Amino acid sequence: MAEQWDKHDMSFLDGRRLRRPRRTAWSRAMVRETVLTSADLIWPLFVIEGQNEKTQIRTMPGVERLSVDLCVQAAKAARDAGIPALALFPNTPDHLRSESAEEAYNPDNLMCRALSAIKDAVPEIGLIADVALDEYSANGQDGLVRDGEILNDETIAVMVRSALVQTRAGADIIAPSDMMDGRVAALRAALDQEGFEQTQIMAYAAKYASYFYGPFREAVGSGNRLVGDKRTYQMDYANSDEAMREIEQDLAEGADSVMVKPGLPYLDIVRRAKSEFNVPIYAYQVSGEYAMIEMAAAAGAIDRKGAILESLYAFKRAGANGVLSYFALEVARDLGA
């Protein structure tokens, strides 16, 4: 027998009951405000040398660095799952890293070989090439360093050369993640001059000096060599107005789309950017965010699949047009292409 409980007199509500549309699944589906589809997901891949080679990343359980041939297979899987684009990051072997980061513009570097192999085998998928020196430098900084200072204009000269070899190899979108001043204008001019008017620029416009990049630095092999921090170029996490200036400037310089990074701790920036600029805004659910979800789930603290979807929906709700996420393939498959 069901308990009999007294009802409170709710006449003050005057019939306004917000739970009404939540009662049934069909009704919840009708009032749902945002949708997540596989087209919202961009999948980052870490590339290593070798053939049929995968290596584990200790701080990113479930993510593997892949040799170029396995990247091609991954690209096919991504395409089949409806993912529109991949973001590639090379783990450059130690002996090729240097103070001047010359490997960044070697037309036969690991990044370029991955770009062209994927472009040949899976031309339908978009390829986003990260442009920054930390993946090639001996010190893990995103720029050239002299007497402890990160040089801006000298770094840009290397980045331009790097972006051109990447574009020739098959990159569709150049994504500078370095936060040097003026790099979008410099890249746009160089691309146009070389006949790559159609190559897009996705600027990591509001990129913060974040503690959440730790696992990524392990993945690309820059972490243990990094001396100091990146606070003279990446943004102070206390700032929001400054992010709007960064975005405004990158757009004025010719960026086709902009990125906010990290993701979940910076949803206010995503929302504000979407309200202030009518342009495509992407958010990066970075490696530390990935690790937090995976490790909390492994410890039995949260439901893994549920937490992943909730986190990705939060980006859409905040106004992001898409999300770079290490969960992309799994989620795209779950959602159905």
Least CB distance to ligand PBG at residue 107 (A): 21
Cβ closest to ligand PBG, residue 80 vs residue 152: 152
Cβ closest to ligand PBG, residue 29 vs residue 58: 58
Cβ closest to ligand PBG, residue 134 vs residue 294: 134
Which residues lie below 8 Å from residue 55, measured CB to CB, with a gap of 6+?
48, 64, 65
CA distance 90 to 105: 13
Least CB distance to ligand PBG at residue 197 (A): 26
> With contact defined as beta carbons under 8 Å apart, do 44 and 74 qualify?
no
Among 91, 287, 311, 325, binds ligand PBG (CB under 6 A): 287
* Interface stretch with ligand PBG, choices 75-83, 184-192, 209-217, 235-243 (CB under 6 A): 209-217
CA distance 202 to 204: 7
Name the nearest CA neighbour of 101 among 135, 131, 128. Answer: 135
* Interface stretch with ligand PBG, choices 23-31, 126-134, 294-302, 308-316 (CB under 6 A): 126-134
CA-based end-to-end distance of the chain: 47
52: alpha, beta or left? (left if phi > 0; alpha if psi -120 to 50): left
DSSP one-letter code for 302: S
Q: Is 177 in the site for ligand PBG (CB under 6 A)?
A: yes
List, by residue number, the catalytic residues: 207, 261
Cα Rg of the chain, angstroms: 22
Among 41, 113, 114, 142, binds ligand PBG (CB under 6 A): 142
Count of residues that interact with ligand PBG, criterion CB under 6 A: 12
Among 40, 134, 250, 253, binds ligand PBG (CB under 6 A): 134
Cβ closest to ligand PBG, residue 119 vs residue 230: 230
Q: Is 130 in the site for ligand PBG (CB under 6 A)?
A: yes
Residue type present at position 316: K
Among 105, 216, 315, 327, binds ligand PBG (CB under 6 A): 216
Least CB distance to ligand PBG at residue 28 (A): 33
* Interface stretch with ligand PBG, choices 22-30, 129-137, 149-157, 275-283 (CB under 6 A): 129-137
Among 132, 247, 323, 335, binds ligand PBG (CB under 6 A): 132
Least CB distance to ligand PBG at residue 324 (A): 8
DSSP string covering 36-60, please?
Answer: --GGGEEEEEEEESSSS-EEE-TTS
Cβ closest to ligand PBG, residue 224 vs residue 278: 224
The CA-atom distances, in angstroms, between 43 and each of 13, 173, 207, 308 are 47, 14, 18, 14
For the beta carbon of residue 311, count every other beta carbon within 10 angstroms. 20
CA distance 206 to 179: 8
Within 63-102, the residues that bind ligand PBG by CB under 6 A are: none
DSSP string covering 132-160, please?
Answer: -GGGTBSS--SSEEETTEEEHHHHHHHHH
Residues within the interface to ligand PBG (CB under 6 A): 130, 132, 134, 142, 177-178, 213, 216-217, 230, 286-287
